[in-house]
Each structure stands twice: as structure tokens, then as C-alpha cells.
Amino acid sequence: MHSHHSALGLATALRPVQPVTLIRPHAARRAARFFVEKFPGTAMYAVKANPSPDLLKVLWDSGVTHYDVASIAEVRLLSETLPEARLCFMHPVKAEEAIAEAYFEHSVRTFSLDTMDELEKIVRATKGASDLNLCVRLRVSSDHSKLSLASKFGAEPGETKALLFAARQAADALGICFHVGSQAMTPAAYAEAMERVRAAIVEAAVTVDIVDVGGGFPSTYPGMEPPPLETYFEVIHKAFESLPISYSAELWCEPGRALCAEYASVLVRVEKRRGNELYINDGAYGALFDAAHVGWRFPVKLVREEISDAKDVAFSFYGPTCDDLDHMAGPFLLPADVAAGDYIEIGMLGAYGCAMRTGFNGFGSDMKVEMTDEPMATLYGGAEEQAVPSNVVTL
């Protein structure tokens, strides 16, 4: 893998024709250490956010030992990449064959569920194993989050008493988990969800060994500047300490976006300008799925040797495919004189952007270059340690 200090140096040296993923291992390392050192429990990386083996190794080397996997493919990937990692199969609906392979071939012992049917499936697939950690997922509100996860999974209040009681009988350790939605903009999301946990425990009168507050920890984007993450941790810890749970109960969380958003950005080239519409060489079927389909605004900057003194104006993007849906409305603020042939860096794409690429219409690129500068935005303070790449070619 090549290494360079900045997007400008890369664009000047290589003039790439295809989009280039710019990765910053030092940013992921810093985020991982932040969670490992400051979250008052166990931070478990949600692999779906970015399953890159290189990133997984960075997180492991930074102290992340638990991984939230959602499919048998993710189980296999982690078993191959990090054979000593502890895997937790947290998708509430799993194929029975996937459960069996995860348990018997990959030593997975933690499974989530939200129905009696899923509980029976887990017990059956593991042949009545006595060493299971079973986490019952509760449905909680996503009102405080930018992307809802409130409709697909989670046991309703009228279902939890019997489900918790039955899971307690089958589990070595019983857990309760929830997910407040992606990009929770206030710690109140977790405080309210923990009240739902309290009510479920009191109603079922069971001993709970694990409380997993799920993901939803935010990153910073234009127009979405959340409070400090320490505030979230304080609210969660206070709520956890007040729950009627086992004295030895464990507190878990499942950060995805918060650990990897700053890890990657994408350098794109403008192929055409039509008014305030820029046609770029990546888009909705590449790293910009969220920009197209949920209107996510990512930080952008013009990458040009000559500094522009033109004022910033609002642009929208079209991606490279022939599809009208390949459109990112933005607005993305860039200097008014941006033109075909210019390069743009689009930041904070380490979460979901890199993971959701397709090869639709024959467009896409696997080119990656390691950067040693800072990401375009961060919740983890200024420059700390810079990456010291080994076995790389410096341009």
C-alpha cells in the first residue's frame, strides 16, 4: 500500500483517474483507545460498519477484543482475521445453520434474540448447550437518532416478561440489549432506553448478567455536531449503576460508526460541471450510498494546488453511473470556481461508505492510500500520534 501525507500531495503526484480511498489508521487507533479507556464497560466493534481486515487488525491492536457480528460471513471473516477475538452474534434473526456453525466451529457463545421462536432455534442449533450468553433485544425509541432502528427488531413490552424468563432458563448468562438508532444526537436516547430495561427487569424478576446498550454513538458531520462522547458514557454509567441487576453484571456497547468514520475518506475527480451540479467519479453505488439515499451530508474540500479565493456555494453531486438515482443532493459547500478536472476529498466515509460499495455499471476502484494527516473532522481531539507506516512506498 502506498502512503502519503495529504490528499493534495496524492492528487498532485498521481492525478488518479479513479476514486481513491484514503485511510488513516491512526484515527481509528485513537478512537479505539478512547472507547477502551473511557467507556465504563466493554466496547464491542460492530463489524457491519466497516469489515476491512486492515481496520479490524488496527482495532484489535488498540485493545478492542469483542466484535459484534451479524452474519455467518462476518463470523468467518473474524475467525480468520482475529482468531482470538470474542465474537457476539447480535443479529436477532439468524439461520439455524449459521447458529450451529458459529457455535460448534467458531466458538461463538453470545447470541441475541427477540422472540420465543429465535430462542428455541438457538437452543436447538446448539443442541441444548449450557454455556450460552443470551441477550434479549428490547424495542426502544429511535426518536433521538438520525437513522431509525426501531421498527425491525426488538421485543415489545407485552412480550418481554415471558421471553426473559425463558431465556434465563436456557442461558448461562442472561443479557438485555437494545439499539437506539444510528447517530444518536443526545445522551437522553440511552437514558430513556435504560428506563425500558429497568421496567423489563422488574416485571420479569430475573437476574440479569449483561446490559448491552448497543450502538448509535455519533460522529461529527456538517449540521450534526453531537455533544462530547464522555457525556454519553456518564449518562449510561449512571443508569447502569441504578439498575436492579447482578452485582457482577457487565456493561457492553457496540460502537460502529464512532470507531471507524474517521478512518477513511474518498478522493474523487470532477468529470463535468453543469451549473451547480458536479459529476464526480464515485456515487450512490460506491461510497456515497448514504449521501444519496438518506440525504447524509459529508464534509468536503477542494483539493487543488492553487488556493481558491472564490466564495463557497452549494453544490449537488451526480455519480458516474447511468442511473438518475445516482444523485447526492447535499448541499455540499465548495468554492464557486470548482471545475472539471478538480479533485474533491469527501470525508468521514470510514463508516458504511467503504462497506456498501458495489460494482454497478462497471464503476468503482479498490485503490487505497494510507494518509498520515488528520481526518476532516474528529470527536477525539487534535493530532496525537501520526501513523508510522512500515513496508510501504512513500510518494
pLDDT tens-digit series, residues 89-124: 999 999 999 999 999 999 999 999 999 999 999 999
Terminal CA-to-CA distance of the chain, rounded, Å? 11
Domain boundaries defined on the chain: 2-23+261-394, 26-260
To the query of whether residue 354 is one of the catalytic residues in this protein, the response is no
CB atoms within 10 A of CB 15: 10
| Percentage above 90 pLDDT, the chain | 82
For residue 383, pLDDT beyond 80? no
Q: In CATH, what number does 2-23+261-394 get?
A: 2.40.37.10
Decide: 245 and 286 in contact? Cβ < 8 Å. Answer: no
What tens digit of pLDDT does each residue of 186-197 get? 999 999 999 999
CATH of 26-260, one of 3.20.20.10, 3.60.15.10, 3.40.30.10, 3.40.47.10: 3.20.20.10
Instruction: Answer yes or no: same fold for 2-23+261-394 and 26-260.
Output: no
**pTM for the full predicted model:** 0.92
Catalytic residue among 88, 135, 177, 322: 322
Handedness of CA 319, 324, 329, 335 (dihedral sign): positive
- pLDDT at residue number 119: 98
For residue 388, pLDDT beyond 80? no
As a whole number, the mean pLDDT across the chain is 93
Between CA 88 and CA 85 the distance in angstroms is 10
* pLDDT band of 395, cuts 50, 70, 90: very low
For residue 248, pLDDT beyond 60? yes
For residue 389, pLDDT beyond 70? no
